[in-house]
Structure 1
Amino acid sequence: MIVKTRKYQLDNSTYIKLAMKHLLRTQWYWIFVPIGIIIINVILNLTVYPNIWIYFLAPVVVIGYLLFWLIQFTGVTQVEQNKVLFQKLLYEIDGRQILIKLNQREGMQMKWDMIKKAYKEKDHFLLVVSRAQFIHLPFSIFNSENDVKFTESLLKRKNLIP
């Protein structure tokens, strides 16, 4: 069976939100670095010497890290090489590959082994290719509920979602 979707264009703001959410989902442990530094500083304040600058520096480092990635993901939307990510595309999904078509004559195939991870949210599938590249498939682009269920079972068979 082949699942054919309607044309869909990924919006820049949706891409940035999804990319930041994926980053936080995969690198959540970063929050423990400033917390650990603050705990060590509290112990040092009580035993050796008073020091308050670290209470300001630790949150600034976390905010700086998040701003760095926000700027990177915003830049992805502006680069000419990534223009194809934000064009109207249709998808044909089957057990061998995902065909990403610009029109009936132009497109590319993506083998399932290129997809590193997949997530099923309440209203979409997110297929992660790399840290900054992914395929966003909202349920609204599928032609029927059976297509959504078949895609979900295909992702389960490929061990991309639990």
Structure 2
Amino acid sequence: MGSSIITPEDVLESLMNDGTIDAIRLKIINQLKANEELKKNTITMVEQSKVLNTPGAEKQTKRELFDSLRQELETPVLEKASKAVWELILDNGGLGKEISETVERVFCRLSGCELPLFPYSRSESELVIETAKENSNPSSKKRSFSEMSMNGADEVANVSRNPLTLPEGL
């Protein structure tokens, strides 16, 4: 193992610099676009919209309708989309597994250790992601990594302060 402790920020910076974050973001977007349940739910919300079902709605301009629909539906639609994204990220058999393995590979590359560091049944990266989900606020906007750590993701902060210990048998 290397002489310095690898922090979550180090891993994140590497993932951002090598384009991995952008590639994962694109995969998430494509999977959201293909999510028929999410599409149907959004269509139903629009069809049941108070804005569109109010007398006189047909007299409004497209821009006025769009702005009113956005004000009415933005939060509930984004909450459903956020939930769908977290399901993708935490999926142990699909994208979530890929993310966990990628984070582990980058950590190992930076620290000089050999793969696999953890059994893939429940890696530390999955625990960090799950903790971040539990501490997330769906109505908030983008937050920096340091803000997330200060807002209760203690596990993320602890990972950067505590040396990594290997499970027995490795």
Q: Normalized against structure 2, the TM-score is what?
A: 0.28
- Relative to its length, the structure with more helix (as a share) is 2
- Relative to its length, the structure with more strand (as a share) is 1
Q: Normalized against structure 1, the TM-score is what?
A: 0.29
